[in-house]
Structure 1
Amino acid sequence: MLAIAAAVLFGIAFLVNATETSTDPVFSPTSLMLVGLTLLALQMAGLGTNWAPRRGRRR
């Protein structure tokens, strides 16, 4: 799930960079890329991999 969010951020960063849109420093392509890399690092560390609800009987 985090990898999908990172891919979306990379896509947005590419579009902002390719169109040379002037944005705030928070939404610059470099900052979006760093957030995307952080999300990928969290995904590789194991966060967000097995978040499906348990399917068991309740007692």
Structure 2
Amino acid sequence: MLGITAAVLFFIAFLIDAATISTNEVFSSSNFMLIGLAALALHVAGIGHGWAVRRRGQGRRR
């Protein structure tokens, strides 16, 4: 999930940079890239991997 979030943030940063949209300092392309890098680092570290709800005893039965 964090990997997808990072990809979206990188895409937004690219659009801001490519379109040369003038934004305030909070929504600059470099800030989006830094937040995307943080999300990507958390994804690689394994944070957010266990967000899916796991049910006990619901395995494959033969």
Flag the structure with larger Rg. 2
Structure 1 stretches of 4+ moved >6 Å: none
**Higher helix residue share:** 1
In 2, the alpha carbon distance for the partners of 1:32 and 1:21 equals 13
Quote the Cα distance in structure 2 between the aligned partners of 1:13 and 1:54.
35
By how many angstroms is 1:51 displaced? 1.4
Q: Which stretches in structure 2 are left out of the alignment for 5+ residues?
A: 58-62
Residue 46 of structure 1 aligns to which amino acid in structure 2?
Answer: G
Task: Give 1:38's aligned residue.
Answer: 38
Aligned to 1:23, what secondary structure does the other structure show?
coil
SS in 1 for 2:26: helix
C-alpha distance in 1, partners of 2:15/2:39? 19
Q: Give the RMSD, CA atoms, in angstroms.
A: 0.9
* Number of the residue aligned with 1:49: 49
Matches within 5 A, 1:7-18: 7-18=7-18
**TM-score (ref. length: structure 2):** 0.86
- How many Å separate the matches in 2 of 1:17 and 1:9? 12
One-letter amino acid of the counterpart of residue 40, structure 2: L
Deviation at 1:24, TM superposition (A): 1.0
